[in-house]
Amino acid sequence: MKLSPAPPGPKGHFLLGSLPEIQRDELDFLVQQVRQHGDVVHIRVVNHDSYVLSHPRDIEAVLITKSNNFIKSVFLRESRALFGDGLLTSDGTLWQRQRRMLQPAFHHEHILYYTKTMLDSTARMLATWKDGEERDVHNDMTRLTMEIVAKVLFGEEFDSEAEHACEAFGLFFRQYDERFGLYLIPEWLPTPANFRYRRAIKRLDEIVLGIIRRKRASMNGNGHSPAVLSIMLSAHDGDGPGMPEQQVRDEMMTLFFTGHETTALALAWTFHLLGQNPEKEQTLQAEVDTVLAGRAPGFQDLARMPYLDMVFKESLRLYPPAFGVVREALSDCEIGGYSIPKGATLAMFQWVVHRDPRFFERPDDFIPERWENDFAKSLPRCAYFPFGAGSRICIGNTFAQAEVPLLLASIIQKFQLKPVPGHRVVTAPSLTLRPLRGIRVKLQKR
Ligand code: HEM
């Protein structure tokens, strides 16, 4: 097959490339470029070339069929200061070994065990909510999912540290965005932004390392607990020594972050969508009320609430918390009829593909019913990939698929979350897809 020489794309500013447009409105810019140029778009930012892939066939090639030729990209490696060599950022044999070791913590029986913590923490939060008060539901969901993940991963009560951890992650995000906004300002430059970035990471390090050390001390002679941290602290690779503290730290920081940030966003965006679509909200309330009949939900109820499942799927379609995955080519290759050079960055955006009218009718509308009759099975592989695909698929997807619907059902059963008039919800694409100034709601007790 004859390959086209280079994919089309925007010309951009002679020095900055497409940086100004990306900074103005990244998501809209991406959608427009794909509409205009097609399934493979070349985008230059300063001196860095990226290729945006938007056809499920090409995404499948990178994430599944030819995945051996791709590693995590420079963008994720840039966040190594926080994640180190944890599952999200590592590659090769280290990643394989760690994934094998951690996978059992996400087996069905463990998820079942974690649901008690999920439900207890939610009930405790709901007991503090008051009829008529205004809240930022993104903030609340972040606190809640952080508390849950700390308990199930670390086996820790987390009340006193939650405030500090939330603050430090908030600071991390602000500085991360600033560094990326100015296009990868090197971390070693002594700028005030870099100073704050390092301070946020140091604070998070103190929290996570403190937990690891306390846990290690309390495990001496006390046997194991089911928390993921215990699995790691008691892990041995053959006859060798246990997992080095730095590796435990990297995995714990990765899971601590991924395990709360994404599910908090999935919940917050779902409340936003329900607030915009009151008739869908009523359908969901009716299902939850009928199935639960006033009692607290349990894992076994999820199978009896199909509309809840469809709402979750549709929310992940429109507001995927991880809105893009990125890889780097290890050698020259062919994708979508174009030759892609070794070292190129390949970016695949759920935000774009999930809104492609070739696969989703009325793509911008919130229609949970579209998922009826096994609609997912009729889609091409990788037309819908909120959890990624292939061997690097999200390790926490079973966790999230239990946690998000259970928390949604618990909250919806007790409260209606009405959008606060005048509060405009704005998407802020960062490492994840966040709402810029939160999602403000007014609580109405049911
Ligand atoms: C709605 C919630 C979630 C979404 C949308 C989500 C999305 C994703 C996506 C798209 C990836 C693949 C990234 C890539 O291929 O580059 C990923 C990887 C990962 N996720 Fe999630 N995630 C969610 C929840 C969770 C939870 C609850 C945990 C942990 C408890 C978790 C831990 C991870 C880890 C460790 C990886 C890296 C896996 C590997 O490379 O082996 N995620 N996630």
Q: In the predicted model, what is the mean pLDDT of residues 380-407? A: 97
Question: What residue numbers bound the domain in which 263 lies?
Answer: 19-445
- Cα(390)–Cα(103) distance, integer angstroms: 15
5 belongs to a structural domain: no
Q: How far is the CA of 253 from the centre of ligand 1 (A)?
A: 13
Helix (H, G, I), strand (E, B) or coil at 226: coil
Sheet holding 415-419, edge to edge: 134-136, 440-445, 415-419
Sheet holding 345-348, edge to edge: 40-45, 48-53, 345-348, 325-329, 70-72
| DSSP code, position 433 | E
Asked whether residue 271 carries a pLDDT value surpassing 80, the answer given is yes
206 belongs to a structural domain: yes
- Cα(264)–Cα(309) distance, integer angstroms: 17
Contact 215, 155 (CB under 8 A): yes
Nearest CA to 326 among 306, 349, 343?
Answer: 349
CATH number, domain at 77? 1.10.630.10
Q: Would you say the CB of residue 386 lies under 6 angstroms from ligand 1?
A: yes
Q: In the predicted model, what is the mean pLDDT of residues 393-418? A: 97
372 belongs to a structural domain: yes
pLDDT grade for 95, boundaries at 50, 70 and 90: very high
Residue with tokens 């990178």: 62
Q: Would you say the CB of residue 321 lies under 6 angstroms from ligand 1?
A: yes
Asked whether residue 57 carries a pLDDT value surpassing 80, the answer given is yes
Minimum mean pLDDT range among 222-226, 293-297, 429-433: 222-226
- Sequence-ordered list of residues with C-beta below 8 angstroms from that of 346, at least 6 positions apart, any chain: 50, 51, 53, 62, 70, 73, 326, 327, 328, 329, 335, 340
Q: Would you say the CB of residue 392 lies under 6 angstroms from ligand 1?
A: yes
Asked whether residue 159 carries a pLDDT value surpassing 70, the answer given is no
Ligand 1 atom at minimum distance from 350 CA = 10
The per-residue pLDDT for 387 is 98
Q: Which residue of 85, 253, 262 sits with most ligand 1 atoms within 8 Å of its CB, as the best mutation to test the pocket?
A: 262
Helix (H, G, I), strand (E, B) or coil at 429: strand
- The 3-state secondary structure of 342-411, one letter per residue: CCCEEEECHHHHCCCCCCCCCCCCCCHHHHCCCHHHHCCCCCCCCCCCHHHCCCCHHHHHHHHHHHHHHH
The per-residue pLDDT for 38 is 96
Higher pLDDT, 15 or 297: 297
Q: Would you say the CB of residue 271 lies under 6 angstroms from ligand 1?
A: no
Q: Would you say the CB of residue 382 lies under 6 angstroms from ligand 1?
A: no
Six-digit token string for 385? 């990939």
Asked whether residue 343 carries a pLDDT value surpassing 70, the answer given is yes
pLDDT grade for 63, boundaries at 50, 70 and 90: very high
Q: Would you say the CB of residue 315 lies under 6 angstroms from ligand 1?
A: no
The per-residue pLDDT for 153 is 83
Higher pLDDT, 212 or 363: 363
Q: Would you say the CB of residue 102 lies under 6 angstroms from ligand 1?
A: no
Q: In the predicted model, what is the mean pLDDT of residues 18-31? A: 91
Asked whether residue 96 carries a pLDDT value surpassing 70, the answer given is yes
Ligand 1 atom at minimum distance from 153 CA = 30
The per-residue pLDDT for 29 is 95
- Cα(442)–Cα(278) distance, integer angstroms: 14
Asked whether residue 226 carries a pLDDT value surpassing 70, the answer given is no
Residue 53's DSSP bridge partners are 40
* pLDDT, the chain, mean: 90
Q: pLDDT, tens digit, for every residue of 349-359?
A: 999 999 999 99
pLDDT grade for 345, boundaries at 50, 70 and 90: very high
Ligand 1 atom at minimum distance from 325 CA = 16
**Ligand 1 atom 37, closest CA:** 88
98 belongs to a structural domain: yes
Burial of 376 (0-12, 13-18, 19+ CB in 10 A): exposed
Residue type, 400: A
Q: In the predicted model, what is the mean pLDDT of residues 146-175? A: 79
316 belongs to a structural domain: yes
The per-residue pLDDT for 270 is 98
Asked whether residue 239 carries a pLDDT value surpassing 60, the answer given is no
Burial of 298 (0-12, 13-18, 19+ CB in 10 A): middle
- The Cβ of residue 244 has, within 10 Å, a number of other Cβ atoms equal to 9
The per-residue pLDDT for 180 is 60
Asked whether residue 319 carries a pLDDT value surpassing 60, the answer given is yes
- Cα(118)–Cα(145) distance, integer angstroms: 8
- The Cβ of residue 421 has, within 10 Å, a number of other Cβ atoms equal to 7
Contact 347, 50 (CB under 8 A): yes
Q: Which residue of 89, 228, 394, 403 sits with most ligand 1 atoms within 8 Å of its CB, as the best mutation to test the pocket?
A: 394
The helix (run of H) or strand (run of E) holding residue 225 is: none
pLDDT grade for 258, boundaries at 50, 70 and 90: very high
**Ligand 1 atom 23, closest CA:** 262
- Cα(56)–Cα(287) distance, integer angstroms: 33
Asked whether residue 425 carries a pLDDT value surpassing 80, the answer given is yes
Higher pLDDT, 6 or 178: 6
- Cα(432)–Cα(152) distance, integer angstroms: 22
pLDDT grade for 245, boundaries at 50, 70 and 90: confident
404 belongs to a structural domain: yes
Domain count of the fold of the chain: 1
Q: How far is the CA of 91 from the centre of ligand 1 (A)?
A: 15
Contact 356, 364 (CB under 8 A): no
Q: In the predicted model, what is the mean pLDDT of residues 215-236? A: 68
Q: How far is the CA of 2 from the centre of ligand 1 (A)?
A: 37
The per-residue pLDDT for 220 is 60
Q: In the predicted model, what is the mean pLDDT of residues 236-243? A: 62
9 belongs to a structural domain: no
315 belongs to a structural domain: yes
The helix (run of H) or strand (run of E) holding residue 417 is: strand 415-419
Angle, alpha carbons 205-208-212 (nearest 5°): 130
Q: How far is the CA of 306 from the centre of ligand 1 (A)?
A: 24
Six-digit token string for 284? 């969901």
Q: In the predicted model, what is the mean pLDDT of residues 413-419? A: 97
Higher pLDDT, 404 or 24: 404
Q: Could you write out the DSSP letters of every residue in 25-70? A: HHHHHHHHHHHHH-SEEEEEETTEEEEEE--HHHHHIIIIITGGGE
